[in-house]
Amino acid sequence: MIMESKIAVAKRLEGIGEYYFSQKLREIDELNKAGKQVINLGIGSPDLPPHPEVIRVLHEEALKTNQHGYQNYKGSPVLRNAIAKWYSKWYGVTLNADAEILPLIGSKEGIMHICMTYINEGDSVLIPNPGYPTYRSAAKIAGGNLVEYTLEKENNWFPDFAAIEKNDLTKVKVMFVNYPQMPTGQLPTMEMFEQLVAFAKKHDILLVHDNPYSFILNDQPMSLLGVPGAKEVAVELNSLSKSHNMAGWRIGMLVGNQDRINEVLRFKSNMDSGMFLPLQLAAAKALELEQDWHDTVNKVYKVRREKVFQLLQLLNCDYDDSQAGMFVWAAIPAQYKDGYELSDKVLYQSNVFITPGGIFGNAGDKYVRVSLCSTEEKIADAIERIKVSG
């Protein structure tokens, strides 16, 4: 007889459920075992490979016998210098490679590191709604109180600063922002970035800008740190996952002024070690890629996006055709209670999975999100399935 454990999970996990996609993928796996062959248009994991030269560097460096030891907690100087050059070339932002850059094992871990570095129990955190669910869960795990700020289509999915200031902001320590915005695909403007920096300075808030989508279906990549004086109040997370098809490589970065980098390093260095050096050297190679690389990737996404538009038209959804990023965000027809209802209908009737917008916050309840990370043929197959099933 197995005795039931009396070990309770930590209180910090109260209200923190399993990540939606983790749970849903198990359900889809069971449907596939039953022979359904579900087409997954939900997950934003690039199906295209990295550039061949990036693979070559990884292979050659991994064959060397002296590349397999522990690495510098701040990352290889080769990678940090490549990040600095990349920021200068594409964003027009000057960074000190020795002091203002911290490579990360994916930018998702950076969100957690930042929360654990700055948030005390009782501090408040401004969270976008709709927005990436990890902002919410990481802030709660760190002990923060969530203050959601609603993003609305009528305001171009930008923060409504007047509405935010109706809240008591005296305990707000951190504000998460994300442009090009996920899940809405909204592009930033320099004016909006300037307003964000001014707002953070006014209220003494640390801005955390999450910027992984700036190269996908977007001809003008922007960094929040391009605003004069932004380093005084802001840090930026970035990643090679989307821009260079390297999601599984887990290579990201935190950039900002030296004090912020050193503060986050105090936490991070107690949680992990430096990345495998061949990965860092291959990442540095990826950051040297020119415009033709991004053009090639975006050419594929443009074709896929047109097919996704056809799929959404079939479902009578409404969307903005100027969205950036690797998803399409669309409003559902009035006949459905919420995006979950439409998502489940498409899944169980057509064996096609699209993401309900409500997982990004209740401001997304009347929306769905469709990924561009499937082949044109799969999207076309999904369209046919939906047509057949009605």
- pLDDT tens for 155-185 read 999 999 999 999 999 999 999 999 999 999 9
The count of other CB atoms within 10 Å of the CB of residue 13 is 12
pLDDT of residue 273: 85
229 HSE (CA, 13 A, CB side): 10
- Residue 18 included in any domain: yes
The count of other CB atoms within 10 Å of the CB of residue 198 is 14
pLDDT of residue 339: 96
- Residue 379 included in any domain: yes
> What is the mean predicted confidence (pLDDT) over 235-252?
96
pLDDT of residue 43: 83
Q: Among 286, 309, 326, which residue terminates a domain?
A: 286
Report the CATH number that the domain containing residue 359 is assigned in CATH.
3.90.1150.10
Please determine, for residue 259, whether its predicted confidence score (pLDDT) is greater than 70. yes
Question: Does 224 share its domain with 260?
Answer: yes
- Residue 91 included in any domain: yes
Classify burial at 182, counting beta carbons within 10 Å of its beta carbon; exposed 0-12, middle 13-18, buried 19 or more: buried
Parallel, antiparallel, or unpaired for β 318-319 and 327-331? antiparallel
Tell me, rounded to whole angstroms, the distance of Cα 251 from its chain centroid: 13
Question: Does 217 share its domain with 312?
Answer: no
Question: Does 105 share its domain with 195?
Answer: yes
Residues 86-135 pLDDT 10s? 999 999 999 999 999 999 998 999 999 999 999 999 999 999 999 999 99
pLDDT of residue 256: 98
Report the CATH number that the domain containing residue 246 is assigned in CATH.
3.40.640.10
- Residue 5 included in any domain: no
Of the chain, the end-to-end C-alpha distance in Å amounts to 51
pLDDT of residue 98: 97
Contacts of residue 134, defined as CB under 8 A and 6 or more positions apart, other chains included, come to: 108, 111, 112
Question: Does 133 share its domain with 249?
Answer: yes
Q: Among 268, 286, 304, which residue terminates a domain?
A: 286
pLDDT of residue 230: 98
Question: Does 233 share its domain with 301?
Answer: no
Question: Does 246 share its domain with 302?
Answer: no
> What is the mean predicted confidence (pLDDT) over 249-254?
96
**For 10, phi and psi rounded to 5 degrees?**
-65, 150
- Residue 29 included in any domain: yes
Question: Does 250 share its domain with 309?
Answer: no
Question: Does 259 share its domain with 305?
Answer: no
Residues 114 and 111: their CA atoms lie apart, in Å, by: 5
Please determine, for residue 5, whether its predicted confidence score (pLDDT) is greater than 70. no
Q: Among 254, 269, 286, which residue terminates a domain?
A: 286
Residues 304-363 pLDDT 10s? 999 999 999 999 999 999 999 999 999 999 999 999 999 999 999 999 999 999 999 999
> Which residues on neighbouring strands pair with residue 150, listed in sequence order?
129
pLDDT of residue 1: 54
Question: Does 189 share its domain with 315?
Answer: no
CB 256 within 8 A of CB 236: yes
pLDDT level of residue 254 (50, 70, 90 thresholds): very high
Question: Does 267 share its domain with 324?
Answer: no
b/e per residue 289-310 (b: at least 16 CB within 10 A): beeebbeebbeebeebbebbbe
- Residue 61 included in any domain: no
**Domain count for the chain:** 2
In the structure encoding, which two tokens stand for residue 379, read together?
């999207």
- Residue 352 included in any domain: yes
Parallel, antiparallel, or unpaired for β 234-239 and 252-255? antiparallel
The count of other CB atoms within 10 Å of the CB of residue 81 is 16
Question: Does 201 share its domain with 119?
Answer: yes
Domain that holds residue 356: 11-49+292-389
pLDDT level of residue 2 (50, 70, 90 thresholds): low
pLDDT of residue 20: 73
- Residue 2 included in any domain: no
Question: Does 35 share its domain with 72?
Answer: no
Helices within 4-122 (DSSP H only): 20-33, 52-62, 77-86, 107-118
CB 184 within 8 A of CB 190: no
In the structure encoding, which two tokens stand for residue 148, read together?
């959601």
Phi-psi region of 37 (alpha: psi -120 to 50; beta: other; left: phi over 0): left
If you ran DSSP here, which 8-state letter would residue 50 be given? P
pLDDT level of residue 17 (50, 70, 90 thresholds): confident
In the structure encoding, which two tokens stand for residue 314, read together?
């079939």
pLDDT of residue 166: 95
